[in-house]
Structure 1
Amino acid sequence: MAIERGATGEFRTGWTLLLAGMLGCCLGVSALPIYTAGVFIPHLEKDFGWGRAELSLAVLLFTLALAAASPVVGRVIDRFGVRRTVAFSIVGASSLYVALAFFLSGLALLYAGHILIAAVGAAAAPIAYTRVVTNHFAKARGLALGITLLGPSLAATIGPPLVSAAIDRGGWSGGYLMLAALIAAMLPFLLLLRDNAPAVPLTLEGAPVTGPLYPAPQLRRIFVILFCAFGFFALSIGGLLVHFVPMLTDAGLSGADAAAMAGLIGLSGMVGRVAGGAAADRFFAPHVLILISCAAVTGFALLAVWGATYAAVAAVTIGFSLGAEADLMAYLVSRYFGREGYTRAFGWLYAAFIAGTGISPLILGFLYDRFGNYMIGLWAGAALLVVTMILFTLLPRFRDKV
């Protein structure tokens, strides 16, 4: 099937890919477990007596396992196809959550369960779904990726309330069963994916691109900049995904109100993903990322200075930034590394992003246990965001034409 020219034609022939990709990113292991981890903390803390640093370590191990598996996932997908690889991950992760619900009895099992879920479920993540989307879309690639990556923001919106309600009915085991059901719900939608989706041609000065877009030394420099920038961004902001609810309950909000406030991160993230992707189709993406990082710094400052008073505003700015940043990572990889290098480069950058997201809650939890508040962690996160903005200024202009 020939791809129609122009953005309208791309959406007309690829809307099913967008739907499947968005749902997959929402119900995958890279979104739901992380966005709902904070909901489990008070209940596991109460029932088992574990500290927040110990519980944050489970999130760290989960994300490190996911990061370690991500560079391998792309090659597995290339060999076995998107559908089969993702289906295996979904069934495996869902089954392991059921086992965790019935057999969790100690920290060792909590850690082992999270490591296995991440390793087995690593293909049910953006690395698979964005690969299909970037292969189909060119003129509207930024917007298409923004729509696809609405999934994690949707998970941040619906995940905490659904899991919180399940915990209210059946305890923390009910929460894990809810996660298993949500992840498994993606299986029928895999039929919408096409492993052999036709690829759009990339051109450089009017000629088709068949090899690298940049000389090898420059490409390595670009990779290092992106690896550090997205790693630092995740390290600065990832801890809030886990500690935002406990931070607000410490300030006097009820668990339900805090979970609802956390849902604003997901809602604003949806806007950020679409707006950031659309902006990248019109403006130089690294400049868009600099402005987005400024918004995140504002959110951190609001939480550090005024706490829960401006928590809603902080949630909106931080969620907007997180949504747009993750969206534009896939966009930048496609523009700098091309189709042939996309899977490998995205796998490593996604690994850095996920690793930073996992390490951040542990650091924030440690600082809370050490000082009794989140103040130092918030200002450190703001400083890392400034470093991220500086790194984005070092990126070169795109050479490919889409």
Structure 2
Amino acid sequence: MHATAAVRDPVMGATAEWRRGWHLVGLTALGITCAPTTLPVYSIGVFVAPFQQTFGWGRGEIQTAILFSTGLGVVCAPLAGWMVRRFGVRMTILPGLCGLAASLALASAMTGALWQLYAVYALMSLLGAGAGAVGWTSLLAERFFQARGLALGLGLSGTGLCAVLMPQIASQAMASWGWRSAYLALAAFILLCVFPLCLALLPRREDNGLTHSTQSGEVVPGQSLHAATRSRRFWLLGASTACIYLAIGGIIPNLVPALADKGMSGGDISSVLAAFGIAIVAGRIGIGALVDRYWAPGVAACALVPASCACLVLDESSAVLFSIMAAAMLGAAAGMELDVLGFLTARYFGLKDFARIYARAYIFVAAAAGTAPLAFGHVYDLSRSYHLPFVISAVLLAAGAVGLLSLGRYPDHQQCNDRR
């Protein structure tokens, strides 16, 4: 049964959806490890020390590369959405994987000019755009209805896998052959492991449920891109997402130095980070399952309000136990946002033009995630304290919760399709 059939016939159970698409969820989790917004972020830390020793670059200069790989999502997300609409998910993801691998291989040839670092990380975003969250989210949203939240949660939990796997691959290669080989090892992992699986398992365009439905003359429920982007709900969803990502994206790179400033030992900091990482995966899966059963904005708010309070706890308390609990609350909020964004986009705007609408909504993610670390670092430089960044994060998370709660009831796209 095709994806649109699942939308037209919600009686079809989640079990049937999983039987048809479980392998695509697993493939998504693996594919997300090679997304241009995850692989560069989680692997760059391995390269900081050798870059400092080899080229004399400062930490801030090296970390700025992430602004290019993540921030360019403002341009690359709509490009990926257009590609999914025009060519289908398969012919969007496969070239994206090749482009990202080529960019990583090119990074191994850097000679010491800082612009080269920024250029190759920009290329990771541009050439790897098709392998990003837009394509993978579209793949699952088109094939799951009853279990869409859990499917997205499990699939996008590949970010946690990336955080574990990519630094290990890079570190092992670097220890044996140097930093240049680390980039080549990451490229080889994409081309030799991920690409063949995607080549074998990604559905061809004629197997895409939405495409089939359109070709057969049936109407896919949902709004057009034009109608969606003119609606209040789209901008409310985007603004709420931006608030959440500004907070989370600012806290993540600053959490370790903030805890160290409180006098916390390296072992205690590792415990806090472990709680944060575990909560990301648990939050993504748990909240994904809950939004299949309950109103998604309410579920998201139940994660965001404790996360807002957690920011204040991290600001005021230096106790390890409280810091671990606060980090877990923040991790749950960080874990749920990307898959909840995909879920809410599908529920409020339908599947008719899902890829392009989600890509436009993803612009808010890219802009916020790309600017948050620099903005929070600037606030710290001005105040010489993490007090203000934590307070700002608390306010932003609370504002994100209020914005999501204002989205209202899910519309019935089957009844009002193309009425706009």
Q: Smaller-chain TM-score range?
A: 0.7 to 0.9
**How many residue pairs align between the two structures?**
397
2:89/2:138 contact within 8 Å kept: no
Distance 2:244 2:398 in 1: 9
- CA 1:214–1:240 in structure 2 vs 1: closer, same or farther (change >3 Å)? closer
What corresponds to 1:332 in structure 2? 344
Structure 1 residue aligned with 2:202: 193
Report deviation, 1:362: 1.2
Name the TM-score, length of structure 2 as normaliser: 0.83
Q: Does the CA contact (< 8 Å) of 1:157 and 1:266 recur in 2?
A: no
Is 2:298 the counterpart of 1:287?
Answer: yes
Q: Which amino acid aligns with 2:339?
A: D
Cα deviation for residue 194 of structure 1 reads: 0.9
AA in 1 matched with 2:117: L
- Quick one: distance in 2 between partners of 1:85 and 1:133? 14
2:242 corresponds to 1:231? yes
Matched with 2:418 is: none
> Structure 1 residue 51: deviation in Å?
4.1
CA distance in structure 2 between the partners assigned to 1:291 and 1:252 by the alignment:
29
- In 1, Cα distance between the equivalents of 2:35 and 2:248? 20
Q: Distance in 2 between matches of 1:303 and 1:81?
A: 44
Q: Distance in 2 between matches of 1:110 and 1:58?
A: 7
Please report how far the alpha carbon of residue 338 of structure 1 lies from its aligned counterpart in structure 2 after TM superposition. Answer: 0.8
Residue 348 of structure 1: aligned partner: 360
- How big is the shift at 1:269? 1.3
**Counterpart pick for 1:397 among 378, 385, 409:** 409
Give the TM-score normalised by the residue count of structure 1: 0.87
> Retained in 1: the 8 A contact 2:103–2:127?
no
For residues 205-252 of structure 1, what are the alpha-carbon distances to aligned partners after superposition, in whole Å with 9 as ceiling and x for unaligned?
Answer: xx9764539994896100100111111111111133333445556656
Q: How far apart, in 2, do the equivalents of 1:170 and 1:232 lie?
A: 42
Q: Distance in 2 between matches of 1:125 and 1:183?
A: 13
Asked whether the 8 Å contact 2:84–2:355 carries over to 1, the reply is no
Partner SS for 1:154? helix
Q: Show structure 2 runs of 5+ residues with no match.
A: 7-11, 415-420
The alignment status of 1:114 with 2:121, answered yes or no, reads: yes
Match in the other structure for 2:79: 72
Distance 2:126 2:319 in 1: 36
Cα distance between partner residues in 2 of 1:166 and 1:369: 36
Identify the match of residue 222 of structure 1 among 233, 244, 263: 233
Residue pair 1:136, 1:199 contacting (<8 A) in 2 also: no
Return closer, same or farther for 1:70/1:312 CA change in 2, 3 Å cut-off: same
Provide closer, same or farther for how the CA distance between residues 9 and 401 of structure 1 changes in structure 2, counting only shifts above 3 A. farther
Q: Is 1:147–2:154 an aligned residue pair?
A: yes
Match of 2:369 in 1: 357
Q: Report if the CA contact (8 A) 2:210-2:220 is conserved.
A: no
Distance 1:345 1:26 in 2: 23
- Cα deviation 1:25-45 (Å, max 9, x = unaligned): 122222121233445445545
Deviations 1:119-171 (A, max 9, x none): 11111112111111111111111111111111112223434455455555555
What percentage of residue pairs aligned between the two structures are identical? 31
Structure 1 gaps of 5+ residues are: none
Q: Which residue of structure 2 lines up, in the alignment, with residue 367 of structure 1? A: 379
Query: In 2, Cα distance between the equivalents of 1:171 and 1:249?
Result: 30
Task: Quickly say closer, same or farther: Cα 1:210–1:385, change in 2 above 3 A.
Answer: closer
User: Which stretch has the larger CA shift, 119-128 or 357-366?
Assistant: 357-366
Counterpart for residue 394 of structure 2: 382
C-alpha separation between the residues in 2 aligned to 1:17 and 1:193? 7
1:3-32 Cα offsets, whole Å, 9 max, x none, are: 782111110111111111121112222212
